[in-house]
Chain A
Amino acid sequence: MGEPAFLILTALAAEPKHGYAVIEDVREISGGQVRLHTGTLYSVLDRLRESGLIEVEREEIVQSRLRRYYRLTGAGRERLAVETARLRRNADAAAARLAVRLMPGTGAA
């Protein structure tokens, strides 16, 4: 799973959100590091819908335009949990190796 998909699932984990709210939330979650563009967002949303990880919660008309709210499905929640655990393991492994190199007397720089 790529970073955009992971961040979009994370943005939808707490509550259903519409497209623009997802973009804003992803920017906040990533500390301003990731700015999702609209083309990418809807490409990933479509893929996540097709995979059954998210679904449309409701639709409404705002300023004469369709607005859809997306939410995680059960499968999406499970997938996000699995992905989170995987990333945590990787991060822990990286942190552990960095800690070894920084210990005095180990030849670390």
Chain B
Amino acid sequence: MNEQHEPDGRLEWWYTRLLALFPPGHRAEYGDEMLGVLLAGTRPGQRLPRLGEAADLMGSAVWMRLGGRGAGAVDSRWADTAAVYGLVASLLLVLAPARYVAADMLYAARLDGMLLRPSTGVLVSMLLWGLAAAAACTRWSVVSAGLAWAGAAHQVWLLAAAYPEQPELLVRRWWMVVLMLSAAFALSVRGRVRGGSVLGGVRTGVLAVALTVLTVLPAVEVLLAETSRHADGGYEIASWGGYQVKSFLGEQPVHGALSAALEAACVLALLGCLIGLAPAVRRRLPVLGMPALLVLVTVPSVFEGFLMSTVRFDPPVLLAAGEWAYLVLLPLLTLLVGVVLLERAERHAHLVGLGLAAEREALLRRTGAAS
């Protein structure tokens, strides 16, 4: 290994120019390391890159620029996180509506003997996201991404069609649009990992069981509840376990002792699954989920006046430019700021670690030389 001689500054400049041809992702991940290897392989007095080496660098760079494998276009930590996030978000997008559709149907059937038919829009959405989640567990990443984008486009189309008559619907469901778009984007990230493989077999199993329990719980509660009709048309619902909920059809889900205990256990199990992930993935998951969460949490209060007033007008009041800007920019800026802060913090921690290691090594050398 030719590390004894000091490489020519001009040669290093040439190698740096050649490495600049690689895609930014590959350069960021391997650039410094590649330069070290290139310089380590030089002969004393060498001032220009060898022809074969230069041709290989140019060929590899062009191949990667054209999308060839090994382009390192996506940081593997983000690719792993995107795989997990895409899978979990897809499951949520199919199971969350399923939870209420099933409970509402049983509710109606038990109390009034009615057969409620869920809207076609909800069924199509659940079907698309269910298939996307199933494909995300396989190696069919293109199919999974395609289904997810179809699911997101379907939701946007539904809300856009209803917007002139019901603009409040778009505001209330904007968090779902953000969640769907982020899930579709995550499932489209290049990389050959699957969400299940990053999570591991046990965690995937726990995740699936916990989400399934959370989905079927409301329906089970409806089945277990005792009901009695009032003269005013309302119902007295006695949940299994003693909780009393006075409710009209579809107004409030039945929430008894069973739900109180099992929901907490399932949420803890889900958190346990995510906390057990690799630290780099664990740190990145909130960054991807934060835009949808922030929209869900802030929109009801920020748009409180709009939501109350728009329904009183005919035709309804539509969103102003500033309100649109809030809905669009909040998730985008949240994601951007999250990524920048996380990358900066990790880079800082990495450099501190390397510095400490170098200091320890230097100290050991000095100690060895002294003895």
Residues of A within 8 A of B (CB): 18-21, 23-24, 37-47, 49-52, 59-63, 65-68
What would 29 A/B residue contacts be, using CB atoms closer than 8 Å? A19-B34, A20-B40, A37-B56, A37-B57, A39-B53, A39-B57, A39-B58, A39-B60, A40-B56, A42-B33, A42-B34, A42-B60, A42-B70, A43-B69, A43-B70, A44-B70, A46-B71, A50-B70, A50-B76, A50-B79, A50-B192, A59-B354, A60-B357, A61-B358, A62-B3, A65-B32, A65-B36, A67-B33, A67-B36
What does DSSP make chain A's interface, helix, strand, loop or mixed? helix
Residues of A within 8 A of B358 (CB): 60-61
> Does B30 interact with chain A (Cβ within 8 Å)?
yes
Residues of B within 8 A of A49 (CB): 76
Which chain A residue shows the least CB distance to B63? Answer: A43
- By Cβ-Cβ distance, the 8 closest A-B pairs, closest first, are A39-B60, A37-B56, A65-B36, A43-B70, A47-B70, A19-B37, A39-B57, A46-B70
> Does B65 interact with chain A (Cβ within 8 Å)?
no
> Does B38 interact with chain A (Cβ within 8 Å)?
yes
Which chain A residue shows the least CB distance to B64? Answer: A43
Residues of B within 8 A of A37 (CB): 52-53, 56-57
Interface residues on B, range: 35 or more
Residues of B within 8 A of A67 (CB): 33, 36
Tally of A-B Cβ pairs under 8 angstroms: 92
B349: min CB distance to chain A, Å: 13
Given A39-B59, A46-B72, verify A66-B357 contact (CB < 8 Å).
no
> Which residues of chain B from 56 to 88 have any CB-CB distance to chain A below 8 Å in the complex?
56-61, 63-64, 68-72, 76, 79
Given A39-B57, A40-B56, verify A66-B37 contact (CB < 8 Å).
no
B269: min CB distance to chain A, Å: 26
Which chain A residue shows the least CB distance to B39? Answer: A65
Given A20-B1, A46-B26, A46-B29, verify A38-B38 contact (CB < 8 Å).
yes
> Does B191 interact with chain A (Cβ within 8 Å)?
yes
Given contacts A42-B33, A66-B36, could you give 6 more A-B pairs where the C-beta distance is less than 8 Å?
A18-B37, A40-B60, A49-B76, A50-B191, A60-B357, A66-B32
Which chain B residue shows the least CB distance to A24? Answer: B1
Residues of B within 8 A of A44 (CB): 70
> Does B200 interact with chain A (Cβ within 8 Å)?
no
Residues of B within 8 A of A60 (CB): 354, 357-358, 361
A101: min CB distance to chain B, Å: 37
Contact A38 B57 (CB under 8 A): yes
Given A46-B70, A61-B354, verify A19-B36 contact (CB < 8 Å).
yes
Of the listed residues B41, B192, B193, the one surrounded by the most CB atoms of chain A closer than 10 A to its CB is B41
Q: How far is the CA of A39 from the CA of B30 in the complex (A)?
A: 10
B46: min CB distance to chain A, Å: 14
Residues of A within 8 A of B59 (CB): 39
Residues of A within 8 A of B153 (CB): none
Of the listed residues A39, A46, A63, the one surrounded by the most CB atoms of chain B closer than 10 A to its CB is A39
Residues of B within 8 A of A45 (CB): 30
Residues of B within 8 A of A19 (CB): 33-34, 36-37
Q: How far is the CA of A21 from the CA of B53 in the complex (A)?
A: 17
Residues of B within 8 A of A24 (CB): 1
Which chain B residue shows the least CB distance to A19? Answer: B37
> Does B122 interact with chain A (Cβ within 8 Å)?
no
Of the listed residues A24, A50, A51, A67, the one surrounded by the most CB atoms of chain B closer than 10 A to its CB is A50
Residues of A within 8 A of B71 (CB): 46
Residues of A within 8 A of B36 (CB): 19-20, 62-63, 65-67
